[in-house]
Amino acid sequence: MKRNLILCLCICTSVMASSKIAIAIKVKGKVSVIQKGSPEKQSLKPGRALSDQDKILTGKDGFAAIMYLDDKTVVKLLGNSDLTVAGNRTGGKINKSLDIKYGKIAASITPQKGNEFRIATPTSVASVKGTELTIASDPSTGDSFTLLEGLIEVTNSFTGETIEVEQGETAVSTPEGSLEVHETTTDDLAGFEDADVEIPTQELRFEVEDEDGNIKEIIIRFQ
Amino acid sequence: MMIMKKNFIYLALFTSTLFSQSGVLIMSPEPNSEISGNDVLIAISTFGMKGVNPDNIQLLLDGEDISDMAYIDEEMVTCLLDQLDPGLHQVQLFLGERGPKTWSFTTTLREPTLKYSGRIRSSSSMDQIDNQTLNISRVMVDFKGSAYEWLKFKTNVKLTTQEKALYQPRNVLGLELSLKEYATINMGDSNPRLSHFTMNGKRIRGLNANFKWGWFNLHVVRGGINRAIEGDLKKAYSYSIDTDDEGTKFLSLSRNGYTFAQNVMAGRLALGRGEKFQWGLNFLKARDDTTSVNPILNDATIIYSPSASGLVTELDSGLVYTIGELGTKAQFLEGKDWNGDGPKDNLVIGTDLGISLFNKRLRLDGELALSLTNTNIWGGPLTLAALDTLMDDSLDNKLSSFDLSSFPDPADYEKILIINPNMAPLVPIDINAFGDNATVDLTDAVLSMPSLAYRGRAITNFYGNYLALEYSQVGPEYNSLANPYLVKNKREWSISDKFKLLQNRLMLTLGYKHQDDDILTIVEKVKSQNTLSLGLNALPGPGLPTLNFTFRSIDRDNGIDELVQLTDTTFSDNRENTHTNNFMVNISHRFDLVWSHALSGTFVNVNKTDKFNDRDTNFVDPAMSINVMNFSLSTRYNFPLKTSINITSNHSELSIGPGERGNQDFLTTNFDAEYPLLKNRILAKGGVNYAQGSGLVDMSWLGFKGGIRWKIFDRFSVNTQGEFRSKETSGVKKNTVIARANLEYAF
């Protein structure tokens, strides 16, 4: 009996010792965080750990980037955004989801290895396995999901209609129930300039040895 | 035995947890990255690693121990450094006895002051449909960037072979500058939106500037709505044959087919921040430039032929003459006598209000706008004396019963609006609502003003309930030259509610909309349409099919109940009173069976019936019935191939003439496939489609299409596609060829 208790305690401690799931890696302007169950709004600083159901609010010029602890999935919030980060810690992984009330979000999601990354807004639900995308959400006008890489499924919550969105496409989902996909234009990415959602920089690396035998590296970055 | 089994399970769980080890994740800064030296965050995740003791963790920066400045626990290490000198830095993390995790990054003095990126796209298309060929080429250049953190710029350039002097501009040339949140200035082409009724996205060439300072907002637009178009030189003139004082016949030439340059100045002064609260005052002033169209086009041509008025000597019937050749044998009419459209003048004033509450879950907005339009300003403004005799011949200083003694002279306001008998409406409000002997209620007179437009809307989005209430009315004479696509003479109100049940697994939609044209107090036959809609969407859960169902019931009535007797035996039947039921059901299911599939089936039925049963046998019956069935299957294979099959059948039964009805059947099938090659750098697409129609028209076609999207470099791609379709209609064969190519380069 005593051994059972000890084993239970170990397991519970292992599972519940911490509910940390992500960390704020970049914060600019006015950004605050509200912990689950707490009415208090605190200023978000870089390096702060975030737990399941923490709500992040950005001011007009605010910007925040958060990174999940298990796989470096990055979520960026632009100005005037309201986002709740969620994650269930199971084993060595975190089952992640985002609940966007409104605002502009950019995410670079590492492949989830069988798990689904859900993004919910008042109008839509997106199912993501691994991708890079931007989301602009407004409860009164709807959402736009722009895929920079990968594949997602978007469901309009009012009609239940589901469509696949591929790289280079933007899905627009409205509270009136329409759900359409079009080829992405620069207008779809307007407002996301601060999120650096351009195609990532490529690198070429060469190692060279000088006369003294020191190894030096030449890095050529190109886009 | 039971206890032992439990212990075994606990032990298994414990050990599996213990040995599920993950590695150290460097979260910030990225190895070999280049970052600003301000507020540098060093962050490492040890999530999932076991046996990590925070007391044995040591963090070094450039060889110096900074562990005391860091936050350290079992799962993460973070350290925020206010300022680092520019240069290369090395981080070392020691986890107990394990060897150090080492990486480097570089800090710079400040972030680059100038950032830019852009994209150049070109596209060419050739559409040869039956015997008609259309070739179009376009080049689009998008260039955007920022400088010094306060300036952003963006270009919008599109050049096309469709640009012709005969049409309004097809090319787009625009530059946008943004100065933080304080100002956005567009030069060249832009699509300003002031409000729903005044200016709502129509392209303007000129200046479009938006200024914000706290609660103060000013939006100013000045430019051209239309450019002047001289028109087709073969259709630029019509003529009549007149006789001068000496009895000589000549051609009296009138200009046709032109468009005046139309200039606009508009503004919106508003108080409010963002979408939470906005109260705006709008005005718009647009006027045609009467000097922009050239009355004499020497290269324009006419075909001369004598008329009943006589003939012009030295001109041969049936010959083509240029205007320059006609010399004294032609005279040009003044603009006010031209046959073409008269130049217009337009003034719009309005106000709008928008409020968002509860994180945009409650939205209230409304707008009111009044327009004054002159449909022909050639004659200039009306004077007060001319106004006195406008509706009668007596010089009594009255317009009908309206006293003009204290009324201002309209000619004094010529720069704001040219007021003359071509005003539409001539008087914006029913004048019978004024004076001691008013016969119309003033409130009714105001709300039914023909050039008034107003709307209101309330939207709530609480507890999965999206409730919308809307009302709008646009008078028959409301006119904004910068908003030409607004539907006029329409009043409508609607209520709709979309709500989610069973944890979003069931969505219900209910809606009702009423539309009519009962705006003016003089309307006798009111046209109306009532639409009731119902929707149901079931999403039972992962792995289960989804069901969508919609139903709409539409009643349409033009208010005419009686036949018009033309002769003793002939009647005209203009009555319209129909009922339409529109029903759609769709079932979709995603499932894995060897491969991954998405299956969808849809059935649509539209049934329109005439409510009158006393129609003449030769009446063109508006009743019709349409049944559509669609089946589609998309498949993703274990290898990168993706295919889709789509089959649609359509059966229609409708009126084809007085007292006659007919049937038309149509079947279309498509098969499409795409396959990525060279690590997704090339996407090959192809497909075949077949259609067959029978009944009123017998026809069939067979088509093939194919193309590739090739990402030659990361930022340079080419997209080509072609389609060939062979069509046979009633025994006549025609071919369609479509070819398109796009090039895109991003920098």
From A116's Cα to the closest Cα of chain B, the distance in A is 11
From A140's Cα to the closest Cα of chain B, the distance in A is 7
The vertex-B220 CA angle with B218 and B224, nearest 5°, equals: 170
Residue type, B101: K
In a domain, B599, yes or no: yes
H or E element in which residue B93 lies:
strand B87-95
Q: How many CA atoms lie within 13 A of B375 on its CB side?
A: 11
Domain boundary among B108, B137, B158: B108
ipTM reported for the complex, 2 dp = 0.74
Q: Measured between alpha carbons, how far is B48 from B490 in angstroms, rounded to an integer?
A: 64
Q: How confident is the model at residue B353, as a pLDDT? A: 96
| Cβ–Cβ contact A118 with B under 8 A | no
| Cβ–Cβ contact A218 with B under 8 A | no
From A91's Cα to the closest Cα of chain B, the distance in A is 6
CB environment A56-79: b (16+ within 10 A), e (fewer): bbbeeebbbbbbbbbbbbbbbbbb
Render A113-145 in DSSP notation, one character per residue.
TT--EEEE-SSEEEEEEEEEEEEEEETTTEEEE
B610 pLDDT exceeds 60? yes
B45/A7 Cβ within 8 A: no
Q: How many CA atoms lie within 13 A of A219 on its CB side?
A: 8
B466/A46 Cβ within 8 A: no
Share above pLDDT 90 across residues of chain B, in percent, rounded to a whole number: 50
Q: Which chain B residues touch A92 with a CB distance below 8 Å?
A: 20-22, 47-48
In a domain, B518, yes or no: yes
B726 pLDDT exceeds 80? yes
B369, two tokens: 């706008």
Q: Tell me which chain B residue has its CA closest to the CA of residue A91.
A: B17
Q: Which chain B residues touch A94 with a CB distance below 8 Å?
A: 47
H or E element in which residue B655 lies:
strand B642-657
| Cβ–Cβ contact A60 with B under 8 A | yes
User: For residue B679, how many other CB atoms are within 10 A of its CB?
Assistant: 7
The average confidence (pLDDT) of chain B is: 88
A101/B359 Cβ within 8 A: yes
B27/A138 Cβ within 8 A: no
Q: Measured between alpha carbons, how far is B314 from B451 in angstroms, rounded to an integer?
A: 52
B55 pLDDT exceeds 90? no
Q: Measured between alpha carbons, how far is B338 from B252 in angstroms, rounded to an integer?
A: 10
Q: Measured between alpha carbons, how far is A125 from B294 in angstroms, rounded to an integer?
A: 59
* B3 CB burial (10 A radius; 0-12, 13-18, 19+): exposed
| Contacts (Cβ under 8 Å, ≥6 apart) of A38 | none
Q: Which of B78, B111, B494, B505 is the mutation pick for testing A, counting most A CBs within 10 A?
A: B78
Q: Measured between alpha carbons, how far is B656 from B466 in angstroms, rounded to an integer?
A: 43
In a domain, B593, yes or no: yes
B11/A8 Cβ within 8 A: no
**What is the tally of structural domains in chain B?**
2
A160/B76 Cβ within 8 A: no
B427 alpha-carbon distance from chain centroid: 34
Measure CB to CB from residue A177 to each of B509, B538, B590 and give the nearest one. B509
Q: Measured between alpha carbons, how far is B458 from B197 in angstroms, rounded to an integer?
A: 18
Quick check: B558 and B574 in contact, CB under 8 A? yes
Per-residue pLDDT, averaged over B564-581, amounts to: 87
Q: Tell me which chain B residue has its CA closest to the CA of residue A186.
A: B142
Q: What is the pLDDT of residues B358-416, one digit of tens each?
A: 877 899 999 999 999 999 999 889 888 887 887 777 777 777 777 777 888 888 899 99
Measure CB to CB from residue A199 to each of B80, B461, B714 and give the nearest one. B714
Question: What percent helix, strand, coil does chain A show, rounded to 5?
Answer: 10, 55, 35
In a domain, B519, yes or no: yes
> The CATH number of the domain where B610 resides is what?
2.40.170.20
Q: Measured between alpha carbons, how far is B664 from B443 in angstroms, rounded to an integer?
A: 53
Quick check: B143 and B131 in contact, CB under 8 A? no
* Segment 160-199 of chain A within 8 Å of chain B by CB: 160-162, 164, 175, 177, 186, 193, 198-199
In a domain, B654, yes or no: yes
In a domain, B560, yes or no: yes
B344 pLDDT exceeds 80? yes
B47/A70 Cβ within 8 A: yes
B706 alpha-carbon distance from chain centroid: 30
Q: How confident is the model at residue A214, as a pLDDT? A: 59
B343, two tokens: 């130049």
Strand ranges in B358-505 using DSSP code E only, listed in sequence order: 362-374, 398-399, 402-403, 423-424, 452-462, 465-474, 490-501
B74/A91 Cβ within 8 A: no
Instruction: Tally C-beta pairs within 8 A across A and B.
Output: 148
B201, two tokens: 């996205």
What is the pTM for the complete model shown? Answer: 0.73
B521 pLDDT exceeds 90? no
B360/A157 Cβ within 8 A: no
Query: How many residues are given for chain B?
Result: 747
In a domain, B679, yes or no: yes
From A211's Cα to the closest Cα of chain B, the distance in A is 22
Domain boundary among B60, B90, B108: B108
Angle, helix A2-16 to helix B2-19, in steps of 10 degrees = 30
Quick check: B346 and B310 in contact, CB under 8 A? no
B49, two tokens: 């690693």
Q: Which chain A residues touch B746 with a CB distance below 8 Å?
A: 199
Quick check: B199 and B193 in contact, CB under 8 A? yes
From A96's Cα to the closest Cα of chain B, the distance in A is 15
Measure CB to CB from residue A72 to each of B27, B48, B117 and give the nearest one. B27
Look up the domain containing B37 and give its range. 19-108
Quick check: B137 and B162 in contact, CB under 8 A? no
Q: Tell me which chain B residue has its CA closest to the CA of residue A197.
A: B117
Q: Which of A55, A75, A143, A159 is the mutation pick for testing B, counting most B CBs within 10 A?
A: A159
3-state secondary structure of A34: strand
- In sign, the C-alpha dihedral spanning A59, A60, A62, A67 is positive
Q: What is the pLDDT of residues B201-248, one digit of tens each?
A: 999 999 999 999 989 999 999 999 999 999 999 999 999 999 888 888
Q: How confident is the model at residue A221, as a pLDDT? A: 47
Q: Tell me which chain A residue has its CA closest to the CA of residue B146.
A: A193
User: For residue B675, how many other CB atoms are within 10 A of its CB?
Assistant: 15
Structure confidence at residue A10 as a pLDDT band (50, 70, 90): very low
Q: Which of B75, B104, B460 is the mutation pick for testing A, counting most A CBs within 10 A?
A: B75
Q: What is the pLDDT of residues B288-322, one digit of tens each?
A: 999 999 999 999 999 998 887 788 888 888 999 99
| Contacts (Cβ under 8 Å, ≥6 apart) of B59 | B42, B65, B66, B67, B70, B72, B77, B79, B91, B92, B93, B94
* B714 CB burial (10 A radius; 0-12, 13-18, 19+): middle
Q: What is the pLDDT of residues B673-694, one digit of tens each?
A: 999 898 778 999 999 999 999 9
In a domain, B49, yes or no: yes
Q: What is the pLDDT of residues B455-500, one digit of tens each?
A: 999 999 888 788 999 999 999 999 999 999 899 999 999 999 988 7
A23/B43 Cβ within 8 A: yes
Strand ranges in B475-505 using DSSP code E only, listed in sequence order: 490-501
From A84's Cα to the closest Cα of chain B, the distance in A is 14
CA distances from B340 to B98, B258, B305 (A): 89, 7, 21
Q: Which chain B residues touch A26 with a CB distance below 8 Å?
A: 28, 41
Q: Tell me which chain A residue has its CA closest to the CA of residue B534.
A: A159
Q: Which chain A residues touch B3 with a CB distance below 8 Å?
A: 1, 4
From B702's Cα to the closest Cα of chain A, the distance in A is 27
B614, two tokens: 């006393």
> The CATH number of the domain where B77 resides is what?
2.60.40.1220
Q: What is the pLDDT of residues A175-217, one digit of tens each?
A: 877 888 888 876 777 777 666 654 333 445 556 665 565 555 5
Q: Measured between alpha carbons, how far is B264 from B204 in angstroms, rounded to an integer?
A: 8
A67/B28 Cβ within 8 A: yes
| Cβ–Cβ contact A102 with B under 8 A | yes
Domains and CATH numbers, chain A: 19-197 (2.60.120.1440)
B131, two tokens: 């015997």
A223 pLDDT exceeds 60? no
Domain boundary among B108, B134, B161: B108
A46/B714 Cβ within 8 A: no
B18 pLDDT exceeds 70? no
The CA-based dihedral angle spanning residues B182, B188, B189, B195, taken in that order and rounded to the nearest 10 degrees: 40
Q: How confident is the model at residue B490, as a pLDDT? A: 95
B110 pLDDT exceeds 70? no
